[in-house]
Structure 1
Amino acid sequence: MIKCLIVDDEPLALDIIEDYISKIPFLTLHKRLHNPIEALTLVQEEKIDLVFLDVQMPELTGIQFLKIANDKCKVILTTAYPEYALDGYEHNVVDYLLKPIAFDRFYKAAQKAQSILCNLPTPPSPVIEASPVSNTFTHDFIFVKTEYKIQKIYLDDILFIEGLKDYISIYTKTERIITLQSMKKIDEALPNHLFVRVHKSYIVALGKIESIERSRITIGDKIIPIGDTHREYFFKMIEDKNV
């Protein structure tokens, strides 16, 4: 059994997650707390396997909790604010659930935690994919799934893509879109005459590159590194476009 703790300052959120935990046979609820400082003390003093942790709380935020807890337990973040997703994954969270949380999405996150804690094969992730496209690309857009919707993104709006574990951020002219996706899949979905992978964590739009200096690409105010394994192919692409 996976011993769980819920930390949230909203009573309704505590009730919902407690109910969800009760429906999953491999989870057991140890305690529900509204005070993150009390929860942090409990995690440091007792063996807690998994914490369902709200991000925005008084006294101590979820991100601050993660920094102090220092991997004492596995964490699934729960919040109504998607902009905290990347911060969470930088601290090695198991998953990131956006409120209101549907049970099927909660169950998939719990399965993921089980696979990590019990050393089981990783279950299929909630699939958030770009439209399957070959490199004989005929459309000027892709669709990606975010937590609540399928979003259309025009290729011409994409500046670059940054990968972080199973999540990617698609940076456009106006916004950053976070989606559960692998760099390999998004790379395969994009036309290779317009986009090129320059690093294990970056894909850039060739037409949005402003300058290249040694091993660095400038797009707007972002400096993107060129990885050693991608250098030769990237500079060949650039050379083919020289006049």
Structure 2
Amino acid sequence: MAKVVESIDRFNSSVRTLLILLLLIAFSTVSYYGYSIYHEKEIALAAKDKEIEEKNVKIGELEDEIDQLALRLKLLKIDRRVARMKVLSQAKPEGAERVQTVLQFVELDQHGTPLSQPQKFTIDGEMVYINGKVVKFADELVEAADPLRSASICLLQKIYGEHQTPAQGFAIDKSGERPEVYGVHEKPTEFEQKLWENFWEIANDPDKAQQYGVRSANEESPGMKVKQGKQYEIEIRSSGGLTIKVLPNEVET
């Protein structure tokens, strides 16, 4: 009999323990869901804040990429002044068949300052052509603002009129020498010297051109039908070639 009572007590104890455990589990579950429901807004808000923060980080990264792209595009579009000319007179001399144009011409540095005293040229005709050797560098060098190769460069050679051949034109820069405007060092570097001395060799050798970072090397001769009293600027774009544009009348030479 005593063993039976002891067994019943032991069973009841186990049942009570199980019930207590079940109650604890139920209480924990109810508490968790109650906490979740009570703090549902706070939890959702925290999740939203985290999502917004992650999106802001991505936006910041995209803005950096956009800024870099904008800078690269800007570098590719930069125009550099290389020379300026002013039409001093334009008339047909007595006994002449055509109009003669007298020009004042001066090369400029990167700040627009004259490199030397202006030169005077008498051109046969009204159309003026500027002939120069142009070196265009690889876009990645321009984008990276390479100290020497961040912009196309040119060696101005001749200026002539519509009724003259380039060979009859007036010499501007000395052939095979580096223009002063591109002298970023006190003395020409080996790179600069070789570039101008071996211009046509580089132009005709893709491997050598790649070695120098050159995209293309060729001669260009933009022309402009000029008018008396007008001033014109010769420019070169970072990734492009020579252009001639008219200046406002109030600009002083």
- TM-score with structure 2 setting the length: 0.21
- TM-score with structure 1 setting the length: 0.22
Q: Choose 1 or 2 for highest CA Rg.
A: 2
Identify the structure with the greater helix proportion: 2
Larger relative contact order (CA 8 Å, sep ≥ 6): 2
